[in-house]
Amino acid sequence: MLGFRSCILVSSRRLISSLANKRPPLHEIFPQKKMVSRILFELDSRLAYNKLYPMYEKLYEGLDTGNDVDIPNSIKGKDLMIMKKVLEKVRHKTKAINKNLLALENVLLDRAAEIGDNDAISLLCFDVLKDPDSNTEDDVSHAKKLIKNLYQMNHPLTVKLTADIALKNHDDATAEVYYMKFLDLQNDTFLAGEVYGQLGQIHFRKPNLIEAEKCFLKSIKLCPIDYSVRSYFLLGQMYVNNDIFKARYLIESSATQGFKESFRTLGLLEMNYFKNYPKAQEWFKLGMELYDTECFVGYFDCTMKNNELLLAKRCYESMEKLAENNQDVNRLFEDFSSHRASDIQKIKEYSPNASINTWQSLTPGDTTVKVSKSNTWNL
């Protein structure tokens, strides 16, 4: 009996594990038709959702079987790249990575490269070059050869990716040269918006702030906000001292995308400049959720200004806990404690139940007047 039971247990475990490894059906994880159609429209796709979805399904099924799926002649490499970009955009917008969709993205990229799409080839080659140690020498040399060919053809994405690699190696001067070359090839596309954003940051570091401002403005114009959030934030920072409303708008825009530093800046702006403490408190609260230590300080100050001692006390206790586990926070916490000694003393003395206790001591239980429901207002 025991043997039978253990046999069932083992087989059920195997079943569960096999089910867990099995990919869910595509329709369960695939984004909504409306969203995909919109992205296809944005990407100026040649083919519509109804044509592309069966292709997605085929390739997705092929992930498990490992067999190469036949791609009809009507679907070109560019279409496969658009299909890949759709999934990439969904990943960006939802800020969530689904490993199955990611695998599908990779397959789409591979197949597009096989068909001969230059963008796909370029992306794959740069993937090899970014991590040469985990690739064979042959792969690396072949990738270099392909990139050289693409570069000689003035392929825009190759130029951009070359600049990206230079930027990754902190070679701003080379990166700038390649980015400028890219802009000579195309300067009004979504990709150009990204390039303007990167160029803006290079000018920002130089610093050549007038050029940086121009680049950020172009980046914002060409790119959707989720791809140019840093441009929004840095431009906002550049305007803080001279055009504070514009700065606030830009930083708020970056906050809509969850850009961590923006919450602190907005909180400080509202607290110190606009003197809007409730609003500042809300911004700091959002920053606290991301464990930004300065937001804790700002939140504490706001609650003290608004005389919300209970909230201040809770904030202080949270900071105390954070400081116990983190050296950097601990240093800041010590500074904070020394600068706000009187406020901290005040909240330590504060007891949230004090008012209730006082009330209870003033109104003994047996003498309370019970008011009937019909006479709630005691008229």
Partner 1 sequence: MTVANRVGYIVKRGYSTQRTPIDISSNSAFKESLASNALLNRLYQLNQNGKIAIKVYSDKCPETNLNVSATLPVTHIPTTKITDAVKQDDSISNWRKPLVKWFRLGKFVLGMYKVGVKSTWSTYFDSKGFKYTVNELTKLIEFKEIESRVLKQNKFDEIDLTRKQYLQWLRRKEFWKIPRFLIAFIMFEEVTPLLCYIFPSLSPWNCLMPGLYRRISDSRSKKLVDNFEIEKSYISPYELDKTAVSQFLTKQNIMPSWRMGIYNITKEFKIPLLKVVETNQKIMIDDWLLLRELLRDSEEPTILSDRELVDAIARRQLYQKGEDLNKMVENIEQQKVLKLRLLLYLSFKFEGTVAADIFGGKLLAERWGVNNMAIFNFPGSNELLKAEHLKNIGL
- Binding residues vs partner 1 (CB under 8 A): 201, 204-205, 207-210, 213, 230, 234, 237-244, 261, 268, 272-275
- How many whole angstroms separate alpha carbon 292 and alpha carbon 79? 43
What span, in angstroms and rounded, lies between the C-alpha atoms of 250 and 233? 6
Residue 238 Cβ, how far from partner 1 at the closest point, in Å? Answer: 7
What the block records as the tokens of 14 is 């195997």
Residue 196 vs 204, nearer CB to partner 1: 204
Residue whose CB is less far from partner 1, 242 or 376: 242
Report residue 259: phi and psi, to 5°.
-70, 115
CB of 19 to partner 1, least distance (A): 44
Contacts of 214 (CB under 8 A, 6+ apart): 200
Q: Which two tokens stand for residue 253?
A: 């825009």
**Is the backbone peptide bond immediately before 54 cis, with ω within 30 degrees of 0?**
no
- Cβ at position 280, least distance to partner 1 in Å: 12
Report the alpha-carbon distance of residue 312 to residue 275 in Å, rounded: 18
Closest approach, Cβ 201 to partner 1, in A, equals 5
Q: Looking at beta carbons only, is 36 or 199 nearer to partner 1?
A: 199
Minimum gap (Å) between residue 260 Cβ and partner 1: 8
Of the pair 35, 240, the CB lying nearest partner 1 is at 240
232 backbone φψ class: left, alpha, beta (φ>0; ψ -120 to 50): alpha
CA 134 to chain centre: 28
Residue nearer to partner 1 on the CB measure, 81 or 234:
234
